[in-house]
Structure 1
Amino acid sequence: MKAPNNCTVGILGCGWLGQALAKTLNAKSYTVKGTTTQKEKLKVLNELAIEANLVKIYPDHIKGDLKSFLKHLDILIIAIPPKINRGETNLKKGLENIFQKKELSAISKLIYVSSTGVFANGLNQIYDENSTPNNKSLRGKALISLENTIRAQKQIQDTFILRLGGLFENGGRHPIHFLSGKPNVPNPKAPINLIEKTDAVELIVKIIETKAVDQSVFHGVFPKHTERETYYVDKAKALNLKPPLFENSSTNNGKIIKSDLTQEVLDFTYAKEP
């Protein structure tokens, strides 16, 4: 792989996570390009030293300057949270269109940011990087279909999927702000599967900079799976928020997402505990 100061990374979907990633890559002397769907965000990205492009993905066409974005890329990162409506997403067909572009043939590595939502909840369910996705909900099937679309493309040889757990930011965006004071929250005994934004960024950087690995699927989940009720009640108290009220349910559907193989292959250690 090229040295950072000669390597250009493109982030398709340069939002909350993508911008944090771009800051880290810029600090390591990578050239960073990014896309947004909003004109007003172009200035924001440019001020972060990101070469910004306006790109909107539709089922039957791509609007904006996709060609300029793809030009001279060495690494492509797709970090677009899919909007799923009744199991359908425009992103799948949009990505299929993108993968037909000849500019992709010069890209050496593709990293797709996926979700642990590809796995179904259940009782005592444990999944690792080699587990087969099995979520049969509309959202789950859409997420699995997106991963399959990534695998089906043929232009970029080194392709990696990073499944992230629930993303949060210490001192910022956190699911407790949504759950605070909420009644009848289900599955109090189900385990949490979370990852702090800084760790998610560092995992992506590790995949970028690791030269040769046999593993193509990675998991980004902090390896501590506290019960939901215990975790969120304690978090609410720590932040002086009203705790959520959980159901006294005999069923606690959930899952544990293991990331041991990811840590071993990438020589990665989590720094931010949920």
Structure 2
Amino acid sequence: MGCGWLGQQLALPLQQDGHQLYVTRRSADVLTNLPTAMSGFVLDLRQPDLTQNQQALALFHDALVLCAIPPGRGETGNNYQTSLQNLYQLMVQAKSTAVIHFSSTGIYQGCTGKVDESSELCSQHPRVQLLYAGEQALQQFPHCITLRLAGLMGPGRHPGHSVAGKTLSNPDGAVNMVHALDILEAVRTLIADNTWLSGLYNLSCPAPITREEFYLRAAELAQTEMTFICDATQSRRVLAEKFSLRFDFKYRFSSAIDALTYCF
């Protein structure tokens, strides 16, 4: 579900693994951008009565659903929550096997210090409310695994380009990033496990790295320039040991700095 940047990082490798895979877009015109031999279909989750869509019911039957639909800065909360609620109802009607929902560690906005999956959320923040509502919509499904992803990096998404010409704050704060290849391996791990027990997990490079270390190296590799101002901004470090312990998972990139050369 959703074939934006993250969906595209996952779809082709999973298809090459031998899975019968379908990707969705909201309109037919963007389906033409799919890689050769990839099957796609139009499905707008904002539309009512999806449970009457016979094509969708057939494709979702017994399927593992990967939900890579971000809320987007321009989305209203109602659209995002409604979309995921409609997806839940479609999966129930079609008797899907399980859903892996890609959420975001942005849900910890307002928290400081070390945070993990048991941390209390700052529910007064609108972004936190939006992400939490999306998680709750899909966690109604009997087999739902929620992966809260740290900042995304990978091919075409180099952090050195995103900060070019900018002045950043909080040089001593923690950086929380995860590479697309580690997200892919986490999905492969869940498929191999095949138990589909519902759970909530953070995915973030586990080695502690400061923002200054990370972004200066990122800018150096990308041949861009950026600066830091010294301030006392409080930050948070996302802990992600739960997934590693549960599935004996080892990150390819323990340090986010090591992942930078794999973002071109």
Fold match (TM-score > 0.5): yes
Contact 1:92 1:145 in 2 (8 A): yes
TM-score, normalised by the number of residues in structure 2: 0.85
Shift of 1:143: 0.6
Contact 1:206 1:266 in 2 (8 A): yes
2:244 is aligned to: 263
Alpha-carbon distance change, 178 to 135 in structure 1, aligned in 2, over 3 angstroms = farther
The secondary structure found in structure 2 opposite 1:31 is coil
**Number of corresponding residues:** 252
Structure 1 position 141 matched with structure 2 position 129: yes
2:221 is aligned to: 238
Alpha-carbon distance change, 229 to 67 in structure 1, aligned in 2, over 3 angstroms = farther
Structure 1 position 23 matched with structure 2 position 12: yes
Contact 2:143 2:198 in 1 (8 A): no
Structure 1 position 61 matched with structure 2 position 48: yes
Alpha-carbon distance change, 197 to 86 in structure 1, aligned in 2, over 3 angstroms = closer
Contact 1:191 1:254 in 2 (8 A): yes
2:261 is aligned to: none
* Unmatched tracts of structure 2, length 5 or more: 257-264
Structure 1 position 94 matched with structure 2 position 83: yes
Q: 1:9-20 residue pairs with structure 2 within 5 A?
A: 12-20=1-9
Residue-by-residue CA offset, 1:218-258 (whole Å, 9 max, x unaligned)? 1110002311122101221122211x222221x22221111
Shift of 1:208: 2.5
Structure 1 position 106 matched with structure 2 position 95: yes
TM-score, normalised by the number of residues in structure 1: 0.82
1:9 is aligned to: none
% identical equivalent positions: 24
Aligned equivalents of 1:66 and 1:169: distance in 2? 35
Q: Which amino acid aligns with 1:266?
A: F
Shift of 1:43: 2.7
Q: Which amino acid aligns with 1:252?
A: T
**101, 105, 111: which one aligns with 1:116:** 105
Residue-by-residue CA offset, 1:105-162 (whole Å, 9 max, x unaligned)? 4211111100001113444x2112333433532111111111111123xxx4211100
Q: Which amino acid aligns with 1:175?
A: P
Aligned equivalents of 2:143 and 2:196: distance in 1? 10
Aligned equivalents of 2:35 and 2:198: distance in 1? 34
Aligned equivalents of 1:203 and 1:136: distance in 2? 31
Contact 2:166 2:227 in 1 (8 A): yes
* Unmatched tracts of structure 1, length 5 or more: 1-11
1:71 is aligned to: 58
Alpha-carbon distance change, 175 to 67 in structure 1, aligned in 2, over 3 angstroms = farther
The secondary structure found in structure 2 opposite 1:181 is coil
**187, 192, 195: which one aligns with 2:175:** 192
